[in-house]
Amino acid sequence: MGNALKDEMSDLDERLMKVLATQERPKRASAFSSTMTFGWRAWLKLKYVPEQLMDVTVFPIMFLLMFTYLFGGAIAGSTADYLQFLLPGILAMTVVTITMYTGMELNNDISKGIFDRFRSLPIWRPSVLVGMLLMDTARYTIASTIMIGLGLMMGFRPGGGIVGVVLAVALLVAFSFSLSWLWTTLGLILRTEKSLMGVSMMVLFPLTFVSNVFVDPETLPSWLQAFVEVNPISLLVTAVRGLMHGTATLAEVGWVILALVILLVIFAPLTMYLYRKKS
């Protein structure tokens, strides 16, 4: 009787395997495919929750109008003249500021448990993060396009022409992509979105305001000029402003490229290490 039961179970297993094995197992998704999938996921979140685009639509417009017409006359004597100086700086400040939302989005996925589900999938591990970051570069480009378009309507006239503007935006997006890795690192370390926002604002607020975004550093006290000159945001603004107006030097652009490479080399591997070790 025992042998009959074994034969019956063996026959059942064989039939079950035939049912389950009617098709070949799907091939593992390539790194490119999985990365694009997670980028598309980030895009769908914007599609169904469009108010998330306020940081790249409403805020840039508000900042440009407010600072131009509130401070232009007092600082430069003319809002038209001040706009030529201010727009590249406000553009850099706005795009750099919204990079922190990458880390906040990752932190939100962790708190909801989605993060653990992604890590269990048979995919290229970095694709989850790289897909999010690539989608963020689209957001940075949207913000840049809106601000430059508004600036042109207000009277902004870049001396570097279309080529200079495109190069400036490309450099800004590349720097912002690199900076986003810092926030993904913190997003994996800090436990809540609010704590991440607090830390990011504590870092970004002094860097963006104590810079050459709003005023020429020559008007500042000597001790403050020393900080402004080495401030990475100032280096970025100088290069973006120079490219837009056709006055950029190779050294100015080179310092920004060096800074973004350092950010990538340090924080991209650190993020992936924390991503693998996250429990």
Q: What is the pLDDT of residues 248-262, one digit of tens each?
A: 999 999 999 999 999
Task: Indicate the average pLDDT of the chain.
Answer: 84
Q: What is the pLDDT of residues 59-86, one digit of tens each?
A: 888 888 888 888 888 777 788 889 999 9
Q: How confident is the model at residue 152 (pLDDT cuts 50, 70, 90)?
A: very high
**What global pTM score does this model have?**
0.83
DSSP 50: G
Query: With 60 as the cut, is the pLDDT of residue 40 above it?
Result: yes
Half-sphere exposure of 209 (CA within 13 A, CB side): 8
Across the range 235-239, mean pLDDT stands at 95
Cα(179)–Cα(202) distance, integer angstroms: 15
Nearest residue to 91 (alpha-carbon basis) of 239, 200, 197 = 239
- Please list, in sequence order, all residues whose beta carbon lies within 8 angstroms of the beta carbon of residue 180, skipping any fewer than 6 positions away: 99, 102, 103, 133, 136
The tokens describing 56, both together, are 């790249």
In order, the DSSP letters of 41-103 are HHHHHHHH-GGGGHHHHHHHHHHHHHHHHHHHHHHHS-HHHHHHHHHHHHHHHHHHHTTHHHH
Q: What is the pLDDT of residues 162-206, one digit of tens each?
A: 999 999 999 999 999 999 999 989 988 888 888 888 898 899 988
